[in-house]
Structure 1
């Protein structure tokens, strides 16, 4: 059964208190790296896989997209998205990414923000997106970095005095399920290597056009714990085009 952690009341309430939940894209540490990589949305059909609160769907509509479909497994997340969205061309559907069904060549752009590390098979996603996209279409996604997902716990190792010693990276080549601690809750995620991400795209008809490992922006470095985020990558962003 596909995990639907964001539909659990306690976890959802904790997530709703994060700055990225309250402030939208401006509160997301990776946004200043991601935004310049976005394609031109004018007149385009857009699909957002794991759309959450719908921030990227709203952004696409604001920038001229003619059609935007956001899918997410959590109806709690989609309820918030619908409340925030005031564009007729945006539609939300409650479905898991693995179960998404669309006609071939339906979209010009497919986005996914921090959702794909919850999916067991990236190759399945790459095949799926290649089918949905028109030739020349853009696939742009962010996910948790393989360095961040490898060991599994996603917790700093600390010294006896409580200070941070290092971040653990272990079992890197052993791909698969991990149980992470996120917002004080146990969450199932999937680790895969950088090779699996990049070759998954290349083997499914994509040309990779950009890769980025977002660092905390300077205007967030004074926030608690943010300077420690410079010690290891947390996220990976990849942009690819269907040949």
Structure 2
């Protein structure tokens, strides 16, 4: 089940985060309120019904892989799949769970492979992952050596998915997912060695405010890993979709890389550099048996796949690394 008691105890021993404890339990209670999430009792029931299986192996370095099919009976494996499917849709992954592949909408492992070569070593880092979904990259950060990882995402379903898998990855592991947005963090926290914001910036009405919020999470010199939609273009260019972008209502600003780097400098970061550009493919983001809704192929112009269905440039994603001053 979802239990933050070990996290609260651990934060007592992290001076930079200890003051947050005065408000964090109330924030978590609000984030997981049944009044906000009518399906929350069903998700809790799925978590309670997960079978008790001890994994023979766990890998969070090369992938996220838990045990093998030989660790459980056929009845347990059937029950496991039934309960995990109750938490549909699964968007970030993939996850290998006792021989069962949760084939998620996104190949988040491909994104991690693009990011990893450009990370300063995470050994002993305190890591924050903003808008982390179900926490896939939290576990990969832990596998890369982070001493503690805190993910935040306001979706209670993603929190349920995370804790379904943490049951088997290790409930005592220093990786947690809080049902919060970045605005819930104390101001001027300046606590984390590394902060990730991947797939968030273009959903924010004020990108400058988001960048400033990200800076306030980082200690001086701490590294930001920002992954977001961009357009091809020069300094000062930015797409502001008047209607939808790739059928999404909540896409506000898509800058060029030069513009984004300028924004970062303006918001208190130094040495911003674009380290990767990648056009999203229908192999990386697609409908699967674990995510039945529309996906990228439905968002592109079928006659001109280099454009969205609305006529905007197709999704181009950049990884930008910067350091907080």
Q: One fold, TM greater than 0.5?
A: yes
Maintained 8 Å contact 1:24/1:55: no
Structure 1: any 5+ residue segments left out of the alignment? 1-6, 148-171
Question: 1 CA distance for matches of 2:92 and 2:219?
Answer: 35
Please say if 1:236 is aligned against 2:310.
no
How high is the TM-score relative to the length of structure 2?
0.53
Q: 1:11-69: CA deviations, max 9, x gaps?
A: x9775278758357992353432221223111110000001010111011122211111
1:214 matched to which residue of 2? 278
Q: 1:92-138: CA deviations, max 9, x gaps?
A: 11112333336522100000221222111111111112121111110
Report the CA distance shift for 1:25/1:67 in structure 2 as closer, same or farther (over 3 A): farther
For the pair shown, the structure with the greater C-alpha radius of gyration is: 2
Counting only pairs closer than 5 Å after superposition, residues 82-101 of structure 1 correspond to structure 2 as 82-85=163-166, 86-87=169-170, 88-101=173-186
Match of 2:129 among 34, 45, 48: 48
Counting only pairs closer than 5 Å after superposition, residues 98-137 of structure 1 correspond to structure 2 as 98-101=183-186, 104-137=189-222
- Give me the CA root mean square deviation: 3.7
Counting only pairs closer than 5 Å after superposition, residues 1-150 of structure 1 correspond to structure 2 as 15-16=89-90, 22-23=102-103, 27-28=107-108, 29-85=110-166, 86-87=169-170, 88-101=173-186, 104-146=189-231
Question: 1 CA distance for matches of 2:106 and 2:238?
Answer: 34
Runs of 4+ in structure 1 off by over 6 angstroms are none
Say which structure is richer in strand. Answer: 1
- Farther-moved stretch of structure 1 (66-75 vs 115-124): 115-124
How high is the TM-score relative to the length of structure 1?
0.68
Q: Secondary structure at the match of 1:30?
A: helix
Report the CA distance shift for 1:40/1:174 in structure 2 as closer, same or farther (over 3 A): closer
